[in-house]
Copies of this chain bind each other. A is one copy, B any other.
Amino acid sequence: MEKKIDRALVADCLKRRFFVIPSFEIYGGMAGLEGMEKKIDRALVADCLKRRFFVIPSFEIYGGMAGLFDLGPPGCALKRNILDVWHQHFVIHDSMQEIDASCLTPKVVLKASGHVDKFTDLMVRDVKTKLGYRADQLLEDSIDKMLQDPEMAEERKKELTHIRARAEDFTPKELHEQIQTLGIKSEYGNELSEPYPYNLMFGTQIGPSGDSQGYLRPETAQGIFVNFKRCLAFNGGQLPFGVAQVGQAFRNEISPRSGLLRVREFTLAEIEHFMDHGEGKHPGFDAIKDVKCVFYPAVNKLGDKKTQECTVGEAVERGYLGHETHAYFVARTQMFLERIGFERHMIRFEQHLPTQLAHYAADCWDAMIYCSYGWTECVGIADRSAFDLECHTRGSGENLKARVVYDKPIIEEKLVPKLVKGVIGRTFRREAGNVCQAIEGLDQDGLKAMMAKHAEKENSEVTDADGKTFEVTPAMVTISKKTIKTSGHTFTPRVCEPSFGIGRILYCLLEQSFYVREGDDEQRAVFKFKPEIASVKCAILPIYASAEFNPILDDLVRTLSRARISNKLDRSGSTIGKRYSRLDEIGVPFIITVDFDTLKDNTVTIRERDSMNQVRLPIADIVGVVSDLSIGEITFDSVVEKYGLFK
């Protein structure tokens, strides 16, 4: 009887820890959490991640280093598989170019791109210890502490919560005022400096002479922009095309926190899609326009705080997304995230407020994934317009333009002004040049209006770049209709950039894949990775440690490895239950067990991780079945159907 009660208690505890009724106040009233039924127990996941060597602090034996983490074998293989799917899903699917540029970057490049001047966070320093703090975080943390005061009036609480919510958007001056008003001090109780911009790039010296300042790249994108000319030529001079890059990027965060979400070294997978200005059409749009996503546009963030679910086609119609290309990458990102295992309701797309945009971005939609830290930016899909290529044109003096040649020339009737420079010169003297420019700068409507006035023998007016107005007489200009043939146009391309933070995606996936199974008398952690991205596709176990199984075990390992199926042999002396449990904890989807019947009839059992169902099948079928299961070609249910449920 006691046993039964225990089990109920455990179950109850599990429910309390993992399955809670949606409780909107704990999410701070954030939008889009309707249907969220699972609260993630971060400590429990973290424990399992460390214990099973998914991810651990770098240089752990030396006490670690803030903001740096290493991936152990299960984490590393997961990352490899996620990147492999990414490569298939984006690079191969859309025949993108992939390049591999340097992490070390000379200052001149990052000066031109704006990063030397603008890639900063606001920092305050303890005036005595000189220790630095991120100013907005310090404000947030200090308010959090104040809010713990049980005697604080509700009114004051509201006020502080409101300040806290705006911390990221304050100017240096506003931040300083808040810090002063609230009497915030450093952790050692000392005064703080005024907030000032602190550059987040790691600096280094390239070469031995000490005069070649360089940085570690803060994003991989610049390596693509500086190679734009070569990429364009590789694409035969044609637009649009995408260039992808996967690699390390580095940001010297002032005070890394939020575990794996804000780190100093991380893997980015970035795409720069170069395109013409104009309508932003994408040839792949039709194929994805019915993909449904949850959108959280900037206007809603400022307004009713409601998210909207609709297709990306509708999102373009409603004006959430500026053009088809932006929509294309939003849809493909949603599909990618679902393909690697995220549930649909854990993803939403959130538009940056103007105050949140990076210095290079004209617009940006983030794919946010829900995890125990709340909605977390994992992918940024930015419209960088022509910002970067224009920066590098100025910085390097290279022509980074493209030319689009029309299928057939455009022939138009156009009004064209012919200036009578003598009259203009005599009239306006030193300002004559400005007047000429002003007339030549008129659009078709302006010319039409001028022509109408001049036909009536009236004077007209133009305004120069400085805003000064000049009176133009009919004698100064003749306007006439001409046939203009345009065969193409030359321009600095515009860029749509989907940028994937692989570490964040990995972390959110780990949290989301984690669940606890109620065992007979213990709880077991399980990661329910999809077979396609699971770090190890299958494990091979002897029913117990005995030398007579070795030839079959070795043969299975060899055969599976030759078929490129990652596998793990566990012939340790632990019970089969313990070994199952260990393998569940690293998310191995299929376990093959060799037992005494194997010796007789050359069959083995194979167990599926989540259903724990087993089938018995001939060894000869194993490679085919596991291979098909691993790539999602068949389901385990179909295997059960074919071979029958075992036991």
Contacts and interface: CB of A to CB of B under 8 A. Distances in A.
A293 interface: no
B208 A254 contact: yes
A198 interface: yes
A274 to B, nearest CB: 14
A567 interface: yes
Nearest to A227: B70
A75 B69 CA distance: 30
A102 B69 contact: yes
A564 B93 CA distance: 8
Contact of A248 (B77, B205, B212, B248): B248
A580 to B, nearest CB: 15
A397 to B, nearest CB: 8
B207 A252 contact: yes
A605 B481 CA distance: 54
A538 to B, nearest CB: 12
A18 interface: no
A496 interface: no
Interface in A500-524: none
Contacts of A100: 70-71, 75-76, 79
Contact of A226 (B61, B80, B109, B567): B61
* A interface secondary structure, majority: mixed
A223 B61 CA distance: 11
B99 A73 contact: yes
A507 to B, nearest CB: 14
A463 interface: no
Contact of A62 (B65, B76, B230, B396): B396
A205 B252 CA distance: 9
A206 B109 CA distance: 22
Given A109-B62, A208-B252, A97 B70 contact: no
Contacts of A108: 59, 62
B98 A77 contact: yes
A130 B132 CA distance: 35
Contacts of A58: 101-102, 104, 223, 226
A501 B202 CA distance: 25
A188 interface: no
Contacts of A564: 88, 92
A106 interface: yes
A204 B109 CA distance: 19
Interface in A555-579: 557, 561, 564, 566-570, 572
A61 B392 contact: yes
A545 to B, nearest CB: 12
Given A99-B70, A101-B58, A230-B53, A205 B203 contact: yes
5 closest A-B pairs by beta carbon, nearest first, are: A132-B208, A71-B100, A73-B97, A61-B396, A70-B101
Interface of A: 53, 56, 58-62, 65-66, 68-73, 75-77, 79-80, 87-88, 92-93, 95, 97-106, 108-109, 123, 130-132, 198, 202-209, 212, 214, 216, 223, 226-227, 229-231, 233-234, 236, 247-248, 250, 252, 254-255, 264-265, 392, 395-396, 398, 400, 557, 561, 564, 566-570, 572
